[in-house]
Amino acid sequence: MTPPTGRRPVRGAVRRAVRRAAFRTARPLRVLLAACLLVLVPGCASDEPDPLVVLGPWTGPEGEAFEAALQRLDDGTGRTYAYEGTRSLRETLVSQLEADTPPDVAVLNSIGELTEYARRGRLRPIAERTTERAFLPWAPTLLVDGRRRTYWVPLKVDLKSLVWSKEGTSSDDPSWCVGLASQATSGWPGTDWIEDILLHQAGPARYEEWATSRLSWRDPDVVRAWTTWARLLAGRSEKSVEQSLTTSYEGTAGPAGPRGLLNSPGFDCTHEHQSAFIRYVYAGDDIRVEPSARFLDGRAEHRDAFEVSGDMAAVFSDDPAAQELVERLSGPAGRERWRAEADPAVRPLFPNGTGLPPTEPASAVEQEIDALLHSTARTLCFDASDVMPPELRDAFHRAVLEFFRDPARKHLASLLEQLEAVRVQVDEESDDTRSFRPPEDVCAGPGG
């Protein structure tokens, strides 16, 4: 158990110093501190508390903006913060938990993973003063050990039901850019397609049933979403399929970083289905963004439904300062600081109907996304794969990759059988090992 305040035991301090040094080897002072603690040199000990460690998914410009905001949050106590950003978030967090060196605060986008950590007793309930920002239903109360409490709070959201194209390009007969590679989590750009199609064809209520494992993967609505995706991407050559399977969702690299799929050599395509965050690779380009509904063979009554992802802060530490940090990050002052530190292309979007201040300059793309999120959208549904238990989500990612390579109906039937078997198995195991169920409501109005 970590002491709530003051100095930590030497062993805990050593472990934390080693981890921080591993993530920040380019910072000599931090490495020196880690080495000093390891050899227990007299005089190295300090009465100053260790920096609070925040683990999150943002790297590059996004990570820099968040870290800058974090360093400028002043709680009046002189407490400092160390941010660790990684694209392999789940793998990093799992290894830290196994080594008994968890971060004080972690920011995750998976409700399924957060539910799993709460069940295992790894999370600390969010302080009562912060729960009002929980934005139901994406941060539900969970019944754990006989008590119903909130275990995380969303910090930001990203709108997913979007299609990108170059200005002047006709949208009547789109040719789709697809990049499915993403390190340890390859396949999620494909699951986004399936989720968005199902949402607009079957509607939010049916989407919720499926996302929360109350609907069979063999259900006709689910099957239709997969076959619609195959039809939209029909006619791709073997070379094109292989290129999509091995190319990052960011596109290929150029002198200034990722080009985006619309600008990547070898991609003869006009439109891209991708989340709002991808705007950072198109900053300064002549790019437009549209709602995805018109492209997905959906129903008119579901056009004002949008899929979103969220980044939720959870506390893994007993240090009260970790709770205070989450309170500040999720509050108005923390949001304003974060937006102020971010370049326009990576400015965060927030839940609870918080739009851009009227006087804040923004690009046409940013204004369009903000208007869709806070004015056009009547229903926001959380990313289905991020709601699913990790085992089912990972199986979904793999199945999408296999289906993209071979979209034959016979192959699809086999893949859906396998996913249904995982769903049933996870559901049966859940009844035996936890005292609560995952949230059943993952769609809500923009105000929560």
Q: What whole-number distance in Å separates Cα of residue 342 and Cα of residue 159?
A: 18
> Are 39 and 31 contacting, i.e. CB atoms less than 8 angstroms apart?
no
What pLDDT does residue 211 have?
A: 95
User: pLDDT truncated to tens, each residue of the chain (448 aa)?
Assistant: 333 333 333 334 444 444 444 444 333 334 333 444 444 444 455 567 789 999 999 998 899 999 999 988 866 667 889 999 998 899 999 999 999 999 999 999 999 999 999 989 999 999 988 988 877 778 888 888 888 899 999 999 999 999 999 999 999 999 999 999 998 789 999 999 999 999 999 999 999 999 999 999 999 999 999 999 999 999 999 999 999 999 999 999 988 888 999 999 989 999 999 999 999 899 877 999 999 999 999 999 999 999 999 999 999 999 999 999 999 999 888 898 998 899 888 889 887 655 555 446 678 898 899 899 888 999 999 999 999 999 999 999 999 999 999 999 999 999 999 999 999 998 777 654 444 456 778 998 876 6
- Any residues with CB less than 8 A from the CB of 330 and at least 6 apart, and which? 130, 133, 153, 154, 155, 313
Q: What whole-number distance in Å separates Cα of residue 309 and Cα of residue 278?
A: 13
Q: Six-digit token pair at 100?
A: 């008994």
Q: Which residues of 100-131 are buried (b: 16+ CB within 10 A; e: fewer)?
A: ebbbbbbbbbbbbbbbbbbbeebbbbbbeebb
**How is the chain split into domains, by residue range?**
158-307+366-444
Top-level class of domain 158-307+366-444: alpha beta
Parallel, antiparallel or unpaired: strands 176-177 and 105-108:
unpaired
What pLDDT does residue 367 have?
A: 87
Instruction: Name the DSSP class of 3.
Output: -
What pLDDT does residue 42 have?
A: 47
What pLDDT does residue 357 have?
A: 56
Query: pTM for this one?
Result: 0.86
What pLDDT does residue 31 have?
A: 37
Residue keyed to tokens 């820099």: 64
